[in-house]
Amino acid sequence: MKYKRNIGLAYAFSFSLSLSFTHGIWMIYLAGKGFSLVHLGLLEAFFHVTSFLMEVPTGSVADIWGRKASRIAGRLCYGLSLIFMFHGTTFLLQVVAFMLSALGYNLESGAGDALLYDSLLLDGDEGRYIKVKGNDELINQIGSILSFLLGGYLASLNFGIAFYATVGSAVLGFFIALFFIEPELEKAEIQRKMSLPGSVLFSLKSQILDSGKVFRKTPRIGFFILFSESLFAFMVCQFFYLQNHWTNLGYSPAIIGMVFSLHAAIAAVFSVKAHAIEKIIGQRGLLVCCPLMLLLTLWGVALTPYSMVFYTLSASIEGLLIPTISTYLNQLIPSRFRATILSFQSMAYSLFMIAIFPLVGLIGNLASLNHAFTLLSSIATMLVIPYLVMLSKQKR
């Protein structure tokens, strides 16, 4: 069990990753600095445009130079982004902050799951992945609970404390990543003999072409990616704009942090029970129930005065999807292309966010956030209904 140490380190890294004390307050902070909802929507769009453009290159970084190197670089970019965000007084500086944050996200997005799965695979223990991933998500949600509670409290004292405490968690993750054992995977001999620029260009070309072959051979990969990332995009849009919505309703950052903490706690419970629930209702049951649950919660937030209740209910979708979809995809993807294809998953998420997030901010600025949430629910309904029809026509 050469790579067993990576599992414990991955849990510790996930915990440091989840200690983002600014995650539930950054929109409140930037709005307080004078940035409008349109500005916030554009900044998030810049994040996802950068993420979309850099996903495959950063996935190639993980496949060529290693998952460990990618995770180390990701923590450095994220720490710098927080410093720019806190001190940036102009829109341009905030754009830089969000682009650095996107790079940090890209460098982690495919490398994290790839390192975890390949470590188990090389030890001949990949059958435990869904349980290990569920535990990983549990630890992530525990960290999120602490972050939301402490982040809201720290923000009520001083936003600077929250930002620099998060920088500290990024530094902690950097040092944890130094101790990962890089999985020894087969790499093409031609790449080893190339110069650094040549290796990058070769990787981009070959990884995209070869990954396309994997998609054609196993179309379920694309189906799972589109399914999960569309749902995540709707949930994340709701999460960010609810920060401002609840602030406008008179709730303090501390109260908002408590609601987000409860959401994370419910997601944690469902993440560790995901493998058991999947055994009961099956893969198709999850693919049907999750989008229907999403529509219920989106419309509940938009049309009722119980937005906090319905948002909390949506945690069950998050908890179920993260370990189960990750398991399905990793079982279908060859190790050599794992980080790159998982990067396509993040690209799909970015495309959904680029299309939806600025539009919600614009409607919120021109009309109200209630109107924006109604629009979000309508778009989700228009996408989910044909998705369910398509699912019903597919073979099991």
User: What does the pLDDT look like over 257-297, one tens digit per residue?
Assistant: 889 899 988 988 888 888 788 888 887 888 788 889 989 99
Tell me the pTM. Answer: 0.71
Degrees to nearest 5, angle at CA 295 with 292 and 298: 150
> Using one digit for the tens of pLDDT, what is the confidence trace for 144-171?
889 988 988 898 889 999 999 999 999 9
Q: What does the pLDDT look like over 290-317, one tens digit per residue?
A: 889 989 999 999 999 999 999 999 998 8
Specify whether the CB–CB gap between 117 and 77 falls below 8 A: no
The number of residues in the chain equals 396
In 3D, which of 130, 134, 113 has the Cα closest to residue 269? 134
Taken in order of first residue, the domains within the chain and their CATH numbers are: 9-180+193-393 (1.20.1250.20)
pLDDT in tens, 89-98: 999 999 999 9
pLDDT of 328 above 80: no
pLDDT at residue 334 tops 90: no
Position with higher pLDDT, 96 vs 62 = 96
pLDDT tens digit sequence for 209-227: 666 666 677 777 777 788 7
Buried residues in 294-310 as b, exposed as e (16+ CB within 10 A) = beebbbbbbeeeebbeb
Task: State mean pLDDT over 135-142.
Answer: 85
User: Residue 179: its pLDDT value, please?
Assistant: 92
The pLDDT mean for the chain works out to 83
CB 274 within 8 A of CB 328: no
Region of 250 (left: φ > 0; alpha: ψ -120 to 50; beta: rest) is left
Separation CA 123–CA 271 (nearest Å): 24
